Each structure stands twice: as structure tokens, then as C-alpha cells.
Amino acid sequence: MRRRSSRIGLRQFVEAFAAEHPPLLLDSADLTIKDPTGVRRRFGAVFNYLTRVEFEVERNVLELRALMPDATETDKFFYEDVWSPQELQHGVLLDAVQHRIGMTPAPTELSRVGVPIRLAGLLSHLPGMLGVIRLLYYLTGAATERSAVIAYSRLVDGLRTMGEHAIASTVVVPIRRQEPGHFAFYRMSAESLVRDEGLSDWQLHLARILRRRSFELVGVNNRRQRAAFGDVARALHFDRDLEEVVRQVSLVERELLWAQHQGMKVPGYILAALQEAIELSKARGRIG
């Protein structure tokens, strides 16, 4: 009974969130930029990277279909009809800004689903594996959305400091406003899966192993993109309070996977990934 009520509550949350937060419209944005050169110099790498990541949601949906062929109806409704349309419009707004500041759009990969994801989708049919894969999906989503909230918040602050209030208030703030709802979905889904539906000890143990070994920063599929993420991290000053950033990004997985590890302040695999990205960025040149 508790499991059923949890699913109903989650579905109602997604429906309400979709109704309250329709996809953003480009016509509602004020793209006035006082100093395009200054914005490009300071935040060009940020707009470039975030635009690519938002547009690649199109591929992410294909990956989710392959990864979880037996996904719940609520999961499918969320990523097909709510999350994807919202994120793609985020990309449209960010792309408009990057064109205004003279940035060349980064190449996007919109259709290729990798072999590891297809293999994981096949394994999801084995007893107990779908629960593990669903948990990893929710944890990845939660970490991604927390990263987005931090990034967009710091971008807003930086743009306002520069006097670029139009794009801060009508582009970045509306995007940031939608990200916490995505995070809430992933968090509630993960908590419901672990605490209400129930995962066995072996499933949680396997999830810990796979999470540690497969973790990657959002939008990173190769060394060049890892360095580009480092550019974003440095432009938004992640390197000045890196452990606090990781603490926020890892909130859900620390609660659900690592609570028994009392001495773990932050997962080392997330901290190491960010440190590597920042070092790669430094090696290829100065930001700002």
C-alpha cells in the first residue's frame, strides 16, 4: 500500500510541476547585452558548454529508452514529456545568448547511444537489475540538477555584477527556476525506490560499486569535454570551494549509498573528477 501511494504521489508531483512550469519561450527573453565582448571573455565557455548539454538532452532521452526499456510510467512521463521539453528550451535560450556574444556553438551528439548503455539495458531484464539501474539513473539526475542549480546561480550573480541584468533575469533566472523541480523528482524517486519499494543489500552494494566506477561529470564523454567542464568550473569559481560544491552535488547519494560511511564528507570519485577537469582546464589556458 505504501509503495502504491508513493508512486501516486510522485506522479501527482510531476503533473503539478509540468503544469506550473511549461517550457520557456524565447520571445519572453530580453537578449539585451551591454558588453558582449566582456560577457564572452568571462562567461563564453559557460554559455557554450551549458548550451551543448541542454541540447544533448535529445540524445539523453534515447539513452534512457535503451537503458530502461521497462521504465515506470512515471519515469517515462517525466523524461519524455516534462524534463526533455523544458531542457531543450533552456538550450534555445542559452544558444540565443551565445550567438549574441559571438560564440561558435559546440558540436553536439544527438543520436548515438553507446554500447555500455545498450548493454546495461539488456542486463536490466535480469532479476533485480532494473532496480539498480533505476537508482543509478536517479542519482545521476540528482547530481546533475544540483550541479545545474549551483552553476546557474553563480552565473546569475556574475552577470548581475557585470550589469547584464537583462539576460540574467530573463534567461538564466527562469532556467534556474525549473532545475530544483527536476532535482526534487530524482530525490523523491530515489528515496521511494530505496525506502518504500525496497532494495536488497546486494543491490545497494552493486549500486555503490557501479556508481564509483562509472561516475562522470555532466556533459563529459572525452578528455576535451572534461577540460571544457573545467573551464566552466573555473569561470564559476568552483575551484574556490570545491569540497562544498561536491557536498551539495552528492547530497542524495551520500544519504542513500554512503550513510554508513560516517567519515565520508564527500564521495572521492566526484571530487577527483572535478579536480581532474580543473587541472586539464588550467593546462590549456587562463579563464577570464
In order, the DSSP letters of 85-100 are HHHHHHHHHHHHHHHH
Return left, alpha or beta for 231; rule: phi > 0 is left, psi -120 to 50 is alpha, else beta. Answer: alpha
Compute the chain's Rg from CA coordinates.
19
**Which parts of the chain have pLDDT scores under 70?**
1-7, 260-264, 286-288
CA-based nearest residue to 50, from 85, 17, 96, 82: 96
Q: How many CB atoms lie within 10 A of CB 81?
A: 13
Give me the pLDDT at residue 41, please: 97
Place of cell 543489500: 201
Give me the pLDDT at residue 63, please: 97
Give me the pLDDT at residue 262, please: 58
C-alpha span between 215 and 273 (Å, rounded): 8
List phi, psi (to 5°) of 30: -100, 110
Place of cell 565520508: 264
C-alpha span between 208 and 185 (Å, rounded): 21
Contacts of 58 (CB under 8 A, 6+ apart): 84, 88, 110, 111
Give me the pLDDT at residue 75, please: 97
Give me the pLDDT at residue 263, please: 56
Give me the pLDDT at residue 259, please: 78
Place of cell 534515447: 62
Mean pLDDT of the chain: 94
Q: Which three cell numbers stand for residue 26?
A: 524565447
**In the structure, how many helices (H) and strands (E) does the chain have?**
14, 0
CA-based nearest residue to 250, from 239, 264, 237, 233: 264
Give me the pLDDT at residue 110, please: 92
